Amino acid sequence: MSSKSEIRGVFFHESIYGYTHDWNVIAETLAQYGVNALFVNDLSGLGRRPDAEISAAISAAHANGLKYHSTSNVLVETKGDPKYNAIRYDGSVEFNGYAQCPIKAHDIIIQNTVAYVNAHPDVDGIMLDYLRYERTG
């Protein structure tokens, strides 16, 4: 027996920080439109939105049948720190705000992701975003 699955999701960008949200209205409206997944950029390289808001968003999503996925701008806050500069294909090092070296930031990524999951074990998924590699040609 085969199984079909389909994700119909909406992505909330980090520009939502600092605004109040009625997550119940958001989740209910999305469910009415057939959306079944919510992707919220609430985890970043060195921090996250307030835990109370994240919990409210997850609860509202689940109450309306939506899966809640946290997205992370993994390295945004590390830009400007020379130890995370991108290593280019030719071995040279170059600062690029969106192409830091994820290998050097491995421990930060793991620590922040584990801390998030410990605080929000009911999250349905984590999407690591803003990992960039230099083009080779």
Query: Is pLDDT of 99 > 70?
Result: no
* Joined tokens for residue 34: 């057939």
Residue located via tokens 């509202």: 60
* Count of C-beta atoms within a 10 Å radius of residue 7: 10
- Per-residue pLDDT, averaged over 47-53, amounts to 81
pLDDT of residue 75: 67
The SS3 of residue 41 is strand
- Per-residue pLDDT, averaged over 91-114, amounts to 71
Residue type, 83: K
The SS3 of residue 126 is strand
Query: Is pLDDT of 43 > 60?
Result: yes
- Per-residue pLDDT, averaged over 4-20, amounts to 78
At the topology level, CATH places domain 9-129 in Transcription Regulator spoIIAA (3.30.750)
pTM: 0.78
| Residue pair 77/47 in contact by the 8 Å Cβ criterion | yes
Per cent of the chain over pLDDT 90 is 37
Q: Where are the domains of the chain?
A: 9-129
